[in-house]
Chains A and B, each alone.
Chain A
Amino acid sequence: MLEGSSFVPLFDASRQRIRRLWPYAAVSAAFLVAAAVLGWLPVSAAVIGCVGVLLVAVIPSGSDSDSSAPRSRARGEGASLPDAPALLAALPGPSILLDARGVVVLFNSAAAEAFPTLRQGDALSLILRIPELIEAVRTVRSGEASDLVVEYSDRVPVDRWTRASVSAVRSGGAGELEGILLALTDQTELRRAERMRVDFVANASHELRTPLAALLGFIETLQGPAREDTAARGRFLEIMRGQATRMARLVDDLLSLSRIEQKLHVRPVEAVDLVEITKGVLDGLTPLAAERAVVLEPAIPRGSVLVRGDRDELIRVVENLVENGIKYGQSGGRVRVGLQILRSGGRDEAVIAIRDFGPGIAAEHLPRLTERFYRVDAGESRDKGGTGLGLAIVKHILLRHRGRLVVESEPGAGATFSVILERLTGAAVETPAEQVSPERHADVVEPQSTERIAP
């Protein structure tokens, strides 16, 4: 590479010299030949003269190559300037180059990832229906401004804030408008941090007030009327401990919800094994199940089922759902946990279905289960130590994984919570499944469900 680039200017220089000197050389040579023919010079002297003249024309001399050096250097730089696609690819954020009419000419891979519908030759307004951006492009096109910075936010599929800089590309820096460059930077983390504080204070103050009021009431009673009542003191302290534990759990849940929200817009990339995760969670929850006289029935295939995900978060999802099944479906006496692969629309999906046989959930509650602090029966939930955030956490984790939660229930016949994640293709799963439950195929989740999260 280095050899080539140093050779090119040299070669160039000698060619230029030949071009510049050859008329003189030719005239001199012709004169010598004519002199020899006319007999003014001996033929041998004429031949030597010709060769000499031509040599002077061809062999580069120091001063000559110096004079041609600046030109050749400029040329060399021109050849090594990267082209537009390479420049766009090097920009860190999604970047799109439009022509003067607002039609997409070029974009980098970050832009293709952010806007899967992006296509060369389409008008930008067709692909990005962002009013702020369209307005800015229009302003720059009309020449009212040469560059603009706008901020906009998307709400679906996940909250996202973006800052876009829209600048005119002009020939020679000030000539005719040749194109418009859009460079986007993600502001989500910054904005989310601001919002998180507000949300946390709003949620925490409201939800912590109830247990706090109860605690204060008991403390006052213990200080006053029940000061000497040993039997009441024991009972009260037990209730107070329960309330305080609930508060601690609430704070923990709010914090983990905030943490998940903080990175909601970043889809996890590592491959994790759902078989291992599910088995691990079931092992961990066996004592709780035994305590409540619930039998766990796993129907998990051998081998591995890989998805892209965050291990800890997916553990949390399965844990929350199985724990709910044990707590709220206690009367059914068993909780079935199945893991399956379903083919849907040419893609493999991994489905973890958690089925309990308890009282079930009434239809009007199904679509709202994942809202923060939504409780089907507030009293029952509190008695069982629920914070009202368990399913909200599940929803947020799945949202981050671009997965879905499907809840199906018939009052009196229990409920099925299915977690659906896109399976990582290329990873083979050993087919012989461990047939623990004879009704394993009943775990198949039909998409005409009652509740669906994320498109």
Chain B
Amino acid sequence: MTEHTVKQFDEELNSLSESLAEMGGLAEKLVADAVQSLLDRDLQRAQGVISSDRTVDRLQQYIEERAVLLIAKRQPMAVDLREIVAALRVSNDLERIGDLAKNIAKRVLALEGQLRPPKLAGGVDHMGELVLSQLKEVLDSYARHDAVRAMEVWKRDGDIDAIYTSLFRELLTYMMEDPRNIGPCTHLLFCAKNIERIGDHATNIAETIHYLVTGEALMDERPKQDLTSSTPISFST
């Protein structure tokens, strides 16, 4: 009888991780599509991102319900409890990632027909590529409970911040050059910020994996290279 219960509990936990993996895959696709629609100014793809975000939201709700039910029904301890808490946290992060991707897609629609400095595309592309590889790595390490790989993701977030800082400066100069650039550049700036935030959520997931595997919260300060909040803006030029 006990064995049967445990087996069923295992199955319930497995189905929870399956839903999470599915949600992760969707989030990855949303981010990739959002960045691609921004680069190609592909309105149709942007629309697709906006409508698929609902699926991510639904999955998050489903996972939350399942997790709460599991805690109530099984009263899990130690690693089992951490597994469920981690699932809750990761699904929250993934839901936020979906929202940020949706926001990028909305800005693509808003940017429609407006001039875009072609050089900026390279920076956004590069950032998108980095953040996608971070997301993939962290979801892979979650599926395999690999805290070491998760920590590598955690340490690498600085790279995305550094590009964001560089893009921020570049956008500022465009806006100063010609006030007509301010509209599209502001949208682009928010898109870049959203990508950077997606990177932050990937590091959150990495922290959750660390907690899941070791049972300890990560206390170290994350390497920060986003200096935009302290970058002075000079209008003397």
Same assembly: yes
Q: Which residues of A come within 8 Å of B, CB atoms?
A: 117, 123, 125-131, 134, 153, 155-157, 202, 206, 363-368, 370-374, 450-452, 454-455
The answer to whether B129 and A367 touch across the interface, beta carbons within 8 angstroms, is no
The answer to whether A373 and B119 touch across the interface, beta carbons within 8 angstroms, is yes
Contact partners of A372 in chain B: CB under 8 A: 122
Does B144 sit at the interface, judged by CB under 8 A?
yes
Does B137 sit at the interface, judged by CB under 8 A?
yes
Residue of B at shortest CB range from A123?
B18
Complex Cα distance A451/B139, Å?
23
Contact partners of B123 in chain A: CB under 8 A: 368, 371, 374
Residue of A at shortest CB range from B132?
A156
Contact partners of A126 in chain B: CB under 8 A: 17-18, 21, 143
Does B43 sit at the interface, judged by CB under 8 A?
no
The answer to whether B140 and A131 touch across the interface, beta carbons within 8 angstroms, is no
The answer to whether A367 and B122 touch across the interface, beta carbons within 8 angstroms, is no
Q: Given A123-B18, A131-B22, does the pair A367, B29 have CB atoms closer than 8 Å?
A: no
Contact of A155 among B14, B132, B156, B166 (CB under 8 A): B132
Complex Cα distance A451/B225, Å?
12
The answer to whether A155 and B17 touch across the interface, beta carbons within 8 angstroms, is no
Could you give, for residues 148-161 of chain B, a 1 whenever the CB lies within 8 Å of some chain A CB and a 0 otherwise?
00000000100100
Contact of A131 among B17, B26, B132, B163 (CB under 8 A): B26
Contact of A367 among B26, B125, B159 (CB under 8 A): B159
Contact of B166 among A123, A153, A368 (CB under 8 A): A368
Contact partners of A134 in chain B: CB under 8 A: 22, 25
Contact partners of B165 in chain A: CB under 8 A: 364
Residue of A at shortest CB range from B155?
A448
Q: How far is the CB of A345 from chain B (nearest CB, A)?
A: 9
The answer to whether B159 and A125 touch across the interface, beta carbons within 8 angstroms, is no
The answer to whether A117 and B140 touch across the interface, beta carbons within 8 angstroms, is yes
Interface residues of B in 80-126 (CB under 8 A from A): 118-119, 122-123, 125-126
Q: How far is the CB of A128 from chain B (nearest CB, A)?
A: 8
Contact of B25 among A131, A156, A202, A366 (CB under 8 A): A131
Contact partners of B163 in chain A: CB under 8 A: 367-368
Contact partners of A374 in chain B: CB under 8 A: 119, 122-123
Residue of B at shortest CB range from A157?
B133
Q: Given A367-B166, A368-B126, A374-B119, does the pair A129, B144 have CB atoms closer than 8 Å?
A: no
Complex Cα distance A368/B132, Å?
17
Report the count of interface residues on B (CB-CB < 8 A). Answer: 35
Complex Cα distance A363/B158, Å?
13
Residue of A at shortest CB range from B134?
A455
Contact partners of A368 in chain B: CB under 8 A: 122-123, 126, 163, 166
Contact partners of A367 in chain B: CB under 8 A: 126, 159, 162-163, 166
Tell me the dominant secondary structure on chain A's binding face: loop
Complex Cα distance A374/B125, Å?
13
The answer to whether A131 and B162 touch across the interface, beta carbons within 8 angstroms, is no
Q: Given A130-B25, A206-B118, A371-B126, does the pair A366, B162 have CB atoms closer than 8 Å?
A: yes
Complex Cα distance A129/B144, Å?
13
Contact of A127 among B136, B143, B159, B166 (CB under 8 A): B143
Residue of A at shortest CB range from B162?
A367
The answer to whether B22 and A156 touch across the interface, beta carbons within 8 angstroms, is no
Q: How far is the CB of A318 from chain B (nearest CB, A)?
A: 23
Does B24 sit at the interface, judged by CB under 8 A?
yes
A127, A367, A374, A451: most-surrounded residue (chain B CB, <10 A): A367
Contact partners of B14 in chain A: CB under 8 A: 123
Contact partners of A155 in chain B: CB under 8 A: 32, 36, 128-129, 132
The answer to whether A129 and B25 touch across the interface, beta carbons within 8 angstroms, is yes
Could you give, for residues 9-31 of chain B, a 1 whenever the CB lies within 8 Å of some chain A CB and a 0 otherwise?
00000100110011011101100
Does B169 sit at the interface, judged by CB under 8 A?
yes
The answer to whether B21 and A125 touch across the interface, beta carbons within 8 angstroms, is yes
Contact partners of B118 in chain A: CB under 8 A: 202, 206
Complex Cα distance A434/B140, Å?
43
- Can you name 7 extra interface pairs (CB under 8 A) apart from A368-B126, A451-B159? A129-B28, A155-B36, A155-B129, A155-B132, A156-B136, A157-B133, A373-B119
Interface residues of B in 185-234 (CB under 8 A from A): none
17 contacts between A and B (CB under 8 A): A125-B18, A126-B143, A129-B143, A130-B25, A131-B22, A134-B22, A153-B32, A156-B129, A363-B162, A364-B166, A364-B169, A366-B162, A368-B166, A370-B126, A374-B119, A450-B162, A452-B159
Q: How far is the CB of A118 from chain B (nearest CB, A)?
A: 12
Q: Given A364-B169, A368-B123, does the pair A131, B159 have CB atoms closer than 8 Å?
A: no
Contact partners of A450 in chain B: CB under 8 A: 162
